[in-house]
Structure 1
């Protein structure tokens, strides 16, 4: 049997009217249910951080889509589930973007429509070993395509990738070092698919287990066993970071400072906190995003004050300037290294900007978003290239700014360029009481595990945290209520993880799987057309005899 062939309605098991799934007969309750089950995976991310729930969170969504009467209905289930997921994962944007959050979620939710259609195609109707085996490969691949497309900066970036929910799970972080967050996402979807397929196979068993019914569970069981084997193998085989000394870094978190003159008040608070770090034998001090509101070239007095702090604490200070430049038009967000003699010349301008937060895509068309929310009134300017900076004691650091810590390729590139420590300067003060600060900080753990390099996540208002080369937390984080400093002895590492060496190979493999799927579908369609032509009845031979008005044949010559 073709694993991708459609099932006839007569093949689909009938549900009793009194069953719980009778609700699905009504389109409106089903749509609400689709939004609800699609939102469930959001509970796996901080702040709820129910990481274990990720391994079953997709099962209700899968079971709903497979029960659809038509492929179009399954695609709608996929779309509405995607809408629910995007709203739940980004609900903290509502106070800033208002109704525009729902518009964006609805557009991005469309990416899951093909995934919902594939769920029904592969798992709908009567289960078969061939289609179940195909589902275990195709559905994770299709999910990765959704994550890849929505990871584009203009669509909001890779926030809420399913694999990121496992930021505190050791085996999952080991998998990230092999295939990045993509591999973790793929294995989570595979587990959910296998569990859903087992549930379907068991539900379809007639009384008295038969060999045929038992055989239907074999592919799903084999898939679950394979995931367990891959995880165990990665744990045993993947090279662990080799120790390469330590680095002593301090994070300065001034806390929430609002009102008139907040930029100058924040700078004064950062100076006071930094002075308290004197005598701690530091290698580097890190301030958060937008920690300095003046261009240092235009305000040499501010540059001199920070340089004096560097001399006092005996370490370079990495600040973040959010200001209009004197040498270039526009406003930049820049990581600037300041040493005892002033700015060292090392400067990184933020390259990937937050849609609507730091620029409005297609402002001529979507500029109205500024009138209904807190979208950027003026677009920030983009940097041109990543930068690896040399700090004291010959150590090299790779800075990122806020949103950029969500992009696996950026930290991977900095590692390949020789960064020994990754730094993310961030500010989520707009979303201080939401899930956003903890979600953002957790991304640093995944980036550290992927690259085998420790990462510092330094913010203005929390959560500030540090993670070692294996993704495990170093020291205690600074929460959203803290206005303080924290000093961390950070273990450094050397060597190259498989992910840094091979890149996004799980995504490439997923593209290959979907290409094979499309080729198989095209070949099946061509075969079906050819068989249809062969089965057409032959045309009747030409009848040389004419009929009379009474229906009798008139033979020639009569």
Structure 2
């Protein structure tokens, strides 16, 4: 199967489009049908284009695929920077493209590294590529700027309940491995049909079918036994407030009293419905206040004076004794007494803090004008204690990182609560993708997850990943739901990221082996 350079470039672009359309997308405010099944074939054109290429050429074609994919799936960054960051259209476009370029340059190292190790060690590409893909997606959770693991391939599978249950063992990285594995076996099968001999093809197909049956069977088992797991588990009646306050009015002093009054009235309705916990979105309280404040008048939050044993969790901006600014979640009881505070520990780069701002002061001009926040530390990252049980608070961007919710559930949280304000992103793909990310946090830890979003989507997700309730975007909505509080911990909760670290170890050993082999034989580099 001989391809021209033009055909290889076209195939690389086709893969980029397939990846993009496998993820949640919204164009012009109109969400596209979810085509998550495309993820299982999305990489095939790129893999065909790079079949006989050198590591350097493989990197080039892979970069084209990933740059196109990220440019489409991360296009929502333009909306925030242009509409609320004070940036021109051109500057917003260039910044969004720069982010896509950075993500593509990093992830394209996966096929590049796999191709290099294949040539140096003789190992099968079908093993090396998924392993390398997991490693560099894992790197994206930490680098650059503290991590930006948005829109990975696993995101495409969030509606497919039976296929995602095993992430409670491996995390989303096991799902990533399996998706890339299937793409590679399909590309080898196509090449075989064109007369190109593929080593151990029958064995690989047999192993792939075995994996498929194992993953699906585990999912069926989890779904069928879910009722028995939750039977007898404590339940909590939760109310979610979605006030739908436009971003340009959220911090306008003329609207602060109106905004607070709206949250009061909506909360009052929820407390009348005998909810145990009412949740406001991120930064819903319209004024900054010192962390030292120990109590509030309950009527400020719409809590009736006759209410017994109830809680309200609200987002607010707080300061400590040193005037450090935090994006916080504050828990109060029915008397208005502050029970606990959680400070957001993973901040949004160029939104809540400026990376390298001390070195390059001009970078302050690129930031959406939110503030110069501090990360939470120490006690503030522990679950919020609520009498008989605890909740884990995930503020906005934190719902994208598996490690945060895992640590809090491992520390005793029996409910995940996500507070967010996606008004920054308008009717783009971001709210759809953001919700899909948080679905995996519920499944990984087998915890119910409730999500209060200023403009949507507010939602209730069960421990299997079913979205039980979801509000419309840009609509004033109330959600009331009884959620189960499961105490048992999953293997992922207990062991954390054992799977990607195993992949890191595998690649490290492969590099060591190739180095020793090269030193012994005097071989030349095969990077190009």
TM-score normalised to structure 2 length:
0.85
Deviates more, 1:279-288 or 1:512-521: 512-521
Q: Counterpart in 1 of 2:130?
A: 140
The question of whether the paired residues in 1 share the 8 Å contact of 2:281 and 2:419 is answered with yes
Deviates more, 1:149-158 or 1:333-342: 149-158
Q: Counterpart in 2 of 1:343?
A: 337
Q: Counterpart in 2 of 1:7?
A: none
Structure 2: give runs of 5+ residues left out of the alignment. Answer: 26-31, 82-91
How far the C-alpha of 1:415 sits from its partner, in A, is: 1.0
Q: Counterpart in 1 of 2:12?
A: 34
Q: What is the rounded CA distance, in whole Å, between the counterparts of 1:511 and 1:378 in structure 2?
A: 36
TM-score normalised to structure 1 length:
0.81
Deviates more, 1:327-336 or 1:310-319: 310-319
* Cα pair distance change 1:374/1:303, threshold 3 Å: farther
Q: What is the rounded CA distance, in whole Å, between the counterparts of 2:347 and 2:15 in structure 1?
A: 31
Q: Counterpart in 2 of 1:546?
A: none
Q: Counterpart in 1 of 2:56?
A: 72
RMSD over aligned CA atoms reads: 2.9
How far the C-alpha of 1:495 sits from its partner, in A, is: 1.3
Q: What is the rounded CA distance, in whole Å, between the counterparts of 1:114 and 1:166 in structure 2?
A: 24
Matched, 1:150 2:140: yes
Q: Which has the higher contact order (CA 8 A, sep 6+)?
A: 2
Q: Counterpart in 1 of 2:151?
A: 160
Q: Which runs of 4+ in 1 moved over 6 A?
A: 236-239, 298-302
SS, match of residue 340 in structure 2: strand
Deviates more, 1:450-459 or 1:297-306: 297-306
Q: Counterpart in 2 of 1:327?
A: 321
Q: What is the rounded CA distance, in whole Å, between the counterparts of 2:357 and 2:299 in structure 1?
A: 38
Q: Counterpart in 1 of 2:382?
A: 387
* Cα pair distance change 1:265/1:34, threshold 3 Å: farther
The question of whether the paired residues in 2 share the 8 Å contact of 1:87 and 1:101 is answered with yes
Q: What is the rounded CA distance, in whole Å, between the counterparts of 1:343 and 1:367 in structure 2?
A: 41
Q: Counterpart in 1 of 2:392?
A: 398
Matched, 1:359 2:344: no
Matched, 1:24 2:6: yes
The question of whether the paired residues in 1 share the 8 Å contact of 2:317 and 2:327 is answered with yes
Q: What is the rounded CA distance, in whole Å, between the counterparts of 2:105 and 2:434 in structure 1?
A: 25
How far the C-alpha of 1:427 sits from its partner, in A, is: 0.7
* Cα pair distance change 1:230/1:322, threshold 3 Å: same
Q: Counterpart in 1 of 2:187?
A: 196
SS, match of residue 486 in structure 2: strand
Match for residue 279 of structure 2 among 264, 270, 286: 286
Structure 1: give runs of 5+ residues left out of the alignment. Answer: 1-12, 16-20, 125-129, 206-212, 532-558
Cα distance per residue 1:430-475 (max 9 Å; x no partner)? 112101111111222211111011111111110011111222222x
Q: Counterpart in 2 of 1:469?
A: 463
Q: Counterpart in 1 of 2:85?
A: none
How far the C-alpha of 1:72 sits from its partner, in A, is: 1.7
How far the C-alpha of 1:365 sits from its partner, in A, is: 4.7
* Cα pair distance change 1:164/1:294, threshold 3 Å: same
Q: What is the rounded CA distance, in whole Å, between the counterparts of 1:106 and 1:312 in structure 2?
A: 57
How far the C-alpha of 1:312 sits from its partner, in A, is: 5.8
How far the C-alpha of 1:307 sits from its partner, in A, is: 5.4
How far the C-alpha of 1:155 sits from its partner, in A, is: 5.1
How far the C-alpha of 1:498 sits from its partner, in A, is: 1.4
Match for residue 489 of structure 2 among 471, 486, 496: 496
SS, match of residue 467 in structure 2: coil
Q: What is the rounded CA distance, in whole Å, between the counterparts of 1:351 and 1:434 in structure 2?
A: 26
Equivalence map 1:54-203=2 (5 Å): 54-68=39-53, 70-97=54-81, 98=92, 99-118=94-113, 120=115, 134-152=124-142, 154=145, 156-203=147-194
How far the C-alpha of 1:520 sits from its partner, in A, is: 3.1
Q: Counterpart in 1 of 2:423?
A: 429
SS, match of residue 309 in structure 1: coil
Cα distance per residue 1:108-159 (max 9 Å; x no partner)? 32223332335655889xxxxx96x721211111001111111116254222
The question of whether the paired residues in 2 share the 8 Å contact of 1:277 and 1:313 is answered with no
